Amino acid sequence: MTIIDSYFDAFNRGDTEGMLACLTDDIAHHVNEGQVRTGKVPFAAFCAHMSRCYRERLTDMVVFVNGDGTRAAAEFVVNGTYLATDEGLPEARGQDYRLPAGSFFTLRDGLICRVTTYYNLADWVRQVS
């Protein structure tokens, strides 16, 4: 199992501590439509916010790792429920959504030091509106 698999397994369990264990202390977290967050404390705060607003499970996971183990990518489907209204987004009423997405990683010393996630926000808004 790769560190990427461990990261996503922890995500699907709702295990923020397990996700944090996969990250370097100086993790650079590039979120879709947002600012870069640096460090485990901002990453954990992001996870807490996401857990309050969304319940998500990732399926159809395909992980790619380059030959020297310094870069990786994953393609997956986000299966979610919109639990609580997120600022600036449509009102939450328990809407379900299904959204293709991908993440890109930089790896250092066996841990994730950068994660960038992309999905189509307009598609998500359409699904929950």
Domain residue extents for the chain: 3-128
Whether 79 contacts 95, CB under 8 Å: no
Contacting residues for 88 by C-beta, under 8 A, at least 6 apart: none
pLDDT of residue 81: 98
What's the rounded Cα separation, in Å, for the pair 88 and 125? 11
pLDDT of residue 33: 82
10-residue averages of pLDDT along the chain (129 residues): 94 97 98 91 96 98 95 98 96 98 97 97 97
Among the four given CATH numbers 3.30.470.10, 3.10.450.50, 1.20.140.10, 3.10.129.10, the one describing domain 3-128: 3.10.450.50
pTM exceeding the 0.75 threshold for the entire prediction: yes
Q: Going by C-beta distance under 8 Å and a sequence separation of 6 or more, which residues neighbour residue 95? A: 81, 82, 127, 128
- Amino acid letter at 26? D
pLDDT at 34: 82
Instruction: Quote the CA–CA distance of 49 and 117 in Å, as a whole number.
Output: 16
